[in-house]
Amino acid sequence: MDRALSTHLFVDRKLTPAILQQVEEAGLPAVEIFCARQHFDYADPAQVRELSAWFADHELELRSLHAPMYSDFEWGHSGSQAVVNLAELEPVHRQESLDQVKRALDVSERIPFRYMVLHVGVRGESFEPKKFDAALASLETLLAFARPRGVQLLLENTRNELSTPQRLRAFIDSLGFDALRVCFDVGHAHLCGSVEAHFELLRDLVVSTHVHDNHGLDDDHLFPFQGSIDWEATMRTLTSAAGDFPLQLELRDYGEFPRPLEKALEIFARLEELVPAPQL
């Protein structure tokens, strides 16, 4: 499995060419940029131009963007109207959410990328047929917007009733296998019961991953081996799939490690040591 890193590791800082340079110099081949506006303001032409110029002169691949979860600069703390929710039943708010994701997709016109990762619903979202239909309509709109830009949409398994493996498959069955695929989030699967069981339900759809740890209670985005995930079993599960997808760390920097990028490289090495040897 190739290595990749989400810039979620640096999400409390503005994303600059200097940060990308550090990632490239660490030997990582690809990144996913996390669209949090205090970090990467996808609606700011100046920041997009600056990063576009950097990528044009470097080998580091922008593989994917994580769609915005909030429209503000404070992780949604400015109020509920800042929450980006593709399953929102109120039409005006849902349109505002769609507009935010479209602005992020527009980045592809300056910095090409292959995938955009989407959350369907928000944390704790209950299932209702009307919400499923609203999310389906949102996805249809975004597919029409993403296709001409050469971007494939990836649905992420998250902690709500619209994003269970079974419901993600239902969205994909409705809109087409070639149109939508899955970004498999290891930490979320652990919070929802079982990494192995959730992956088994999605394995033929997975083209990307989010790899992080927790203690089974909160979505902490810890470095692997800090929480309660069984990483030997997890690596055995991930490497059992036929698909070619990266091992992509999506971590949070709590200030515990003086050099978090170096720690991430150490984690990659430890995880790779757990990959089962091929059988002859």
pLDDT digits (tens, 9 = 90+) for 127-140: 999 999 999 999 99
> What average pLDDT does the chain have?
95
Report the candidate in 161, 180, 153 with the shortest Cα–Cα distance to residue 169: 180
Average pLDDT over residues 248-266: 96
SS3 159: coil
What does the pLDDT read at residue 242? 77
Average pLDDT over residues 94-102: 98
Contacts 24+ apart (CB under 8 A), 128-137: 130/89, 131/87, 131/89, 131/162, 132/87, 132/162, 132/167, 132/170, 134/86, 134/87, 134/88, 134/89, 134/94, 135/86, 135/87, 135/162, 135/171, 136/171, 136/174, 136/175
Give yes or no for a contact between 181 and 205, defined as CB atoms under 8 angstroms apart: yes
Average pLDDT over residues 35-47: 98
Buried b (16+ CB within 10 A) or exposed e, 24-56: beeebebbbbbbbbebbbbbeeebbeebbebbe
What does the pLDDT read at residue 261? 97
**pLDDT tier for residue 47 given thresholds of 50, 70 and 90:** very high
SS3 238: helix
How far is Cα 183 from Cα 202, in angstroms, rounded to an integer? 9
Residue 278 has pLDDT above 70, yes or no: no
Question: Vertex 70, ends 41 and 79: CA angle to 5°?
Answer: 125
How far is Cα 160 from Cα 64, in angstroms, rounded to an integer? 23
pLDDT in tens, 168-209: 999 999 998 788 999 999 999 999 999 999 999 999 999 999
SS3 130: helix
What does the pLDDT read at residue 280? 53
Q: pTM of the predicted model, to two decimals?
A: 0.96
Average pLDDT over residues 102-122: 97
What does the pLDDT read at residue 34? 98
What does the pLDDT read at residue 79? 73
Residue 76 has pLDDT above 80, yes or no: no
Average pLDDT over residues 147-172: 97
- Token pair 């760390």 is found at 249
